[in-house]
Structure 1
Amino acid sequence: MSKMSKIVEYTLEKRHPEYLVSAESAREHMHKRSLEEDNEFKIPKRIYHSKVKSKNLFNCQTLIFNGAEDCSHIVIYLHGGAYVNEIMIPHISFCDRLAKKINGTVFAPLYPLAPNHTYEETYEIIEKLYKHLLDMGKPITIMGDSSGGGLSAAFAQYLAANDLPQPENLILISPWVDVSMSGNYDDVEKDPMSGVDGLRELGRAWAGDLDLKDYKVSPLFGDVSKLSRTTIFVGTHEQIYHDVVNFYNKLKDNNIDVELNVGEEMNHVYPVYPLVPESKEAFNHIVERILEKN
């Protein structure tokens, strides 16, 4: 664990999301978010490596990074935030750097969030976007972090269930694969962003009328037998570490071309933080996986 990683972990501990502590605190947070989550997102003013623009695609505000017609690769990036929080600067920076590095176009749909919305609207939007991008004839990667990683895995299962083609790559960064939080979380050494009861309540809002173990919200319990090449990142200092490892093992048991990258003593979604040495290594590996030919 690098010195910078320790600093990040200390910072995360000081900024622990209180809304994850209990179901009540999660409901209070969702109420606050419900008053503002449908507002238009304003792209932060900063220096970007690629051209960044906002466009309404299929009734969803979408950030597009390096929207060049001659791009070599396409990425659909689904941001994390426990299905209730909007995209953040680290996500934007990550997508921006990725688009430049792979000579690709990254589409980051700002999908509808709980509690005002459930998974259903988002699936409809992403399906339309995915079908539209398939027509471009370029290799497509679907990827995301945390809840966005769980959504990426679940959507890939949804594609398989509906006889739609799989993406070239599925890349999952600390994916939240079980919103029911039914696993064993007591033996994880430490996680500065932990909170079982709060997360379960947020997952319940996202699931709407679905069972919390339905694959569309908890891909850990779905059929993974038709997934494409999958790359997973997780840190040992993550509450969901064992859930992610179990998901990896399930893919492996189904003979999926899957790779698990474990960040020793690393925190949740560590590849997204640009100043961490381990993050740079993970980022470079993600670029390699996208550029590799299957």
Structure 2
Amino acid sequence: MTRQQRDTLDALLRSAPSDHNPEPEAERLAFAQALTRPAPEGVATRRTVLGGRPALELRPSGAGRRGLLLYLHGGGYVVGSPDTHAGLVGELARRAGTPAVSLDYRLAPEHPFPAPVDDGLAAYRELLAGGMDPGELVVAGDSAGGGAVVALLLAAREAGLPQPAAAAVLSPWVDLTLSGASMRTKEDADPIFTAQDLRAYADHYLGDRDRAHPWASPVFADLTGLPPLLVQVGSNEVLLDDAVRLAGRAGADEVDVTLEVWPGVPHVFQHHYGRLDDADAALDRVAAFLTEKAAARPAVAR
């Protein structure tokens, strides 16, 4: 069924409206209507505040009291929220047997770079200050949220904070200069984005700021000292080379990195769990990776 499921999903995505650059508020509404899935059955949700920002806590039934997943949602730094990603994050938390907190970081253009990184770092600081063992803390994100996760790790390193046990990024957007070859070579294969779409998001987020800044485009950063990293991407993405180059950069900098390129699937295909076998398999792989790395990380004495 996988090939048929991929073809059906591709056709569905190509039939959707393709304008990615209306006014931000209109696009946020359209994004929420198209993407939102509720938290899965057996995952309780609760509104909370973390690092001074609203957040959504997702706790699977039977989850232990130890360990936590901090999640940064995708949306080009312009759209998206913990609500749009409640299904995806809840599924990941359920499969990992770990509670999660999805952060409602500030969005551009009202709050441009580096507001999401600052918010992620403030949330991470609060978790550590509250007694969370970094060896029991994992982080994950998709698309722009994946880029923000890597930027958060860099910011934490710069601030002298301990790294989490592991990180996973799904279809990460980590080059806002849009210099990857797949921006051109995969444009016909990608049913969601073109380089022009991503340029519009980058314009909202960065304005006239340096698009190669390590926190905006971590593919150009020194990644030395980052925790074990899992990178997943679909082969039908203009962002394919973002993921491939990120993994290559991490490997060159002696990071324990795993790259998975899933054939014939689109951007953040994991959103389509329950409808696409690849999505369910990928989420299982992410959950196993994060729990394995957290279990292997020795506790930090305090």
Are the counterparts in 2 of residues 50 and 65 from structure 1 also a CA contact under 8 Å? yes
Runs of at least 4 residues of structure 1 off by over 3 A? Answer: 31-34, 43-48, 67-70
Gaps of 5+ in 1: 20-25, 38-42
Aligned-residue sequence identity (percent) comes to 23
Is 1:276 matched with 2:276?
Answer: yes
Aligned length: 281
Give the corresponding residue for 1:60: 53
Is 1:128 matched with 2:127?
Answer: no
1:98 positional shift: 2.4
Are the counterparts in 2 of residues 179 and 213 from structure 1 also a CA contact under 8 Å? yes
Deviates more, 1:183-192 or 1:215-224: 183-192
Give the corresponding residue for 2:236: 237
Are the counterparts in 2 of residues 190 and 238 from structure 1 also a CA contact under 8 Å? yes
Give the corresponding residue for 1:287: 287
The 5 A counterparts of 1:204-223 are: 204-208=203-207, 210-223=209-222
Give the corresponding residue for 2:184: 186
Q: What RMSD in Å do the two structures reach over aligned CA positions?
A: 2.5
Which one-letter code corresponds to 1:65 in the other structure?
L
Normalising by structure 1, we get a TM-score of: 0.87
Distance 2:38 2:200 in 1: 34
Are the counterparts in 2 of residues 49 and 97 from structure 1 also a CA contact under 8 Å? no
Distance 2:68 2:165 in 1: 10
Distance 1:32 1:287 in 2: 34
Is 1:84 matched with 2:85?
Answer: no
Which one-letter code corresponds to 1:279 in the other structure?
A
Secondary structure (helix, strand or coil) at the match of 2:114 reads helix
Give the corresponding residue for 1:112: 106
Call closer, same or farther: CA 1:33–1:16 in 2, change over 3 Å.
closer
Deviates more, 1:130-139 or 1:57-66: 130-139
Is 1:172 matched with 2:165?
Answer: no
Secondary structure (helix, strand or coil) at the match of 2:232 reads strand
Deviations 1:101-156 (A, max 9, x none): 32321010111111111133333322221122222226111110011011111111
Distance 1:88 1:63 in 2: 6
Call closer, same or farther: CA 1:45–1:221 in 2, change over 3 Å.
closer
1:44 positional shift: 7.5
Is 1:51 matched with 2:44?
Answer: yes
Gaps of 5+ in 2: 31-35, 297-302
Distance 1:194 1:49 in 2: 34
